[in-house]
Amino acid sequence: MAANKMMEKQLSTNIKPPRIFKMSLWRKLMTAFASAAVFASFAFLAIMFLSIIGDVFIHAWPALNVKLLTEITNGIGGGLKNAIEGSIVISFGSILLAAPIGISAGIYLSEHGQGMAGKTLRFLSDVLVGVPSIVLGYVGYITMVIYLGWQFSVAAGIITLTIMLLPYIARSTELAVSNIPLAVREAGYGLGAGEGRIVFKILLPGAAPAIMTGLFYAVALSMGETAPLLYTAGWSNYMWSGNLTKEPIGYLTYVIWTFINEPFAESHMLAFAAAFLITSGVLLLILLGRWYMVRAQKRMGSYR
Amino acid sequence: MKFPVFRISLIATASMLPISLILLIIFLVIYSWPAIEYNQFHFLWTNDWNLGNLYGNPVEVDGHQVMPGAKYGIWFLVVGTLASSVLAMLMAMPIAIGAAYFLSEGIRKSWSGPLSLFVDLLAAVPSVVYGLWGYALLVPLFGKTIFPFLANTFSFIPFINGSPGSGYGLLTSAFVLAVMIIPLISATLRESIQMIEPALKEAGLSLGLNRLEVFWHIILPKLKKVLIGVGILALGRALGETMAVLMVSGNALNYLPGNIYAPISTMAAFIASQLDSALQDPTNMAVEALSEIALVLLLITVLVNISARFILWMEKVR
Is the CB of A38 less than 8 angstroms away from the CB of B102? yes
Q: What is the pLDDT of residue A301?
A: 65
> Binning pLDDT at 50, 70 and 90, where does residue B318 land?
low
Long-range contacts of B69-73 (CB under 8 A, 24+ apart): B70/B281, B70/B285, B70/B286, B71/B46, B72/B35, B72/B38, B72/B39, B72/B43, B72/B48, B72/B285, B72/B286, B72/B289, B72/B292, B73/B39, B73/B42, B73/B43, B73/B44, B73/B45, B73/B46, B73/B47, B73/B48, B73/B49
Strand partners for B64: B61
pLDDT tens digit sequence for B219-272: 999 898 899 999 999 999 999 999 999 999 888 888 888 888 889 999 999 999
Low-confidence ranges of chain A (pLDDT < 70): 1-22, 301-304
Give the Cβ contact number of residue B297 at 10 Å: 28
- By percentage, how much of chain B surpasses pLDDT 90? 36
Mutation site, B3, B10, B108, B277, interface A, largest A CB count within 10 A: B10
ipTM: 0.89
Q: What is the least distance, in Å, from the CA of B149 to any CA of chain A?
A: 20
Q: Does the beta carbon of B270 lie under 8 angstroms from any beta carbon of chain A? A: no
Query: What residue ranges do the domains of chain B occupy?
Result: 87-314
Please tell me the distance from the alpha carbon of residue A49 to that of residue A34, in angstroms, as a whole number.
23
Q: What is the pLDDT of residue A179?
A: 87
Q: Using DSSP, state whether B282 is helix, strand or coil.
A: coil
Strand partners for B61: B64
Q: What is the pLDDT of residue A47?
A: 93
Q: What is the least distance, in Å, from the CA of B269 to any CA of chain A?
A: 8
B251 Cβ partners below 8 Å, 6+ apart? B168, B263, B265, B269, B270, B273
Is the CB of A121 less than 8 angstroms away from the CB of B27? no
Residues B213/B204, Cβ–Cβ less than 8 Å: yes
Q: Which residues in chain A are contacts of B298 at CB distance < 8 A? A: 131-132, 135
State yes or no: pLDDT of B1 exceeds 80.
Answer: no
Task: Nearest chain B residue to A146 by CA: give it.
Answer: B31
Q: What is the least distance, in Å, from the CA of B181 to any CA of chain A?
A: 11
- For all residues of chain B together, what is the average pLDDT? 87
Residue A68 vs residue B218, higher pLDDT: B218
Please tell me the distance from the alpha carbon of residue A239 to that of residue A65, in angstroms, as a whole number.
19
Is the domain covering B87-314 a CATH 1.10.3720.10 domain?
A: yes
Nearest-by-Cβ selection for A21 from B4, B96, B208: B208
B8 Cβ partners below 8 Å, 6+ apart? none
Q: Where are the alpha helices (DSSP H) in chain B?
A: 5-14, 16-39, 75-101, 109-124, 127-133, 139-141, 147-153, 170-195, 198-206, 211-214, 220-222, 224-239, 243-248, 267-278, 285-314
Q: What is the pLDDT of residue B92?
A: 94
Q: Using DSSP, state whether B71 is helix, strand or coil.
A: strand
Q: Using DSSP, state whether B64 is helix, strand or coil.
A: strand
Please tell me the distance from the alpha carbon of residue A184 to that of residue A111, in angstroms, as a whole number.
13
- By percentage, how much of chain B surpasses pLDDT 70? 99
Q: What is the pLDDT of residue A5?
A: 63
pTM of the shown model: 0.90
Please compute, for residue A10, the number of CA atoms within 13 A of its CA located in the half-sphere on the CB side.
6
Residues B292/B35, Cβ–Cβ less than 8 Å: yes
What number is the average pLDDT over the span B274-294? 86
pLDDT tens digit sequence for A6-41: 666 555 556 666 666 667 888 889 889 999 999 999
Is the domain covering A73-300 a CATH 1.10.3720.10 domain?
A: yes
State how far Cα A234 lies from the chain centre.
23
Is the CB of A41 less than 8 angstroms away from the CB of B96? yes
Q: What is the least distance, in Å, from the CA of A119 to any CA of chain B?
A: 11
Q: Picking from A50-54, B37-41, B123-127, B215-219, which range would have the lowest pLDDT averaged per residue?
A: B37-41
Residue type, B113: G
Please tell me the distance from the alpha carbon of residue A171 to that of residue A174, in angstroms, as a whole number.
5
Give the Cβ contact number of residue A120 at 10 Å: 12
Mutation site, A134, A197, A203, A222, interface B, largest B CB count within 10 A: A134
Please tell me the distance from the alpha carbon of residue A35 to that of residue A33, in angstroms, as a whole number.
6
DSSP structural state of residue B108: -
Is the CB of A56 less than 8 angstroms away from the CB of B294? no
pLDDT tens digit sequence for A104-133: 999 998 888 888 888 888 888 888 888 999
Q: What is the least distance, in Å, from the CA of B126 to any CA of chain A?
A: 5
Task: Nearest chain B residue to A229 by CA: give it.
Answer: B272
Q: What is the pLDDT of residue B310?
A: 87
Is the CB of A105 less than 8 angstroms away from the CB of B14? yes
Q: What is the pLDDT of residue B132?
A: 93
pLDDT tens digit sequence for A285-298: 999 998 988 888 78
Q: Picking from A32-41, B49-58, B165-174, B236-245, which range would have the lowest pLDDT averaged per residue?
A: B49-58
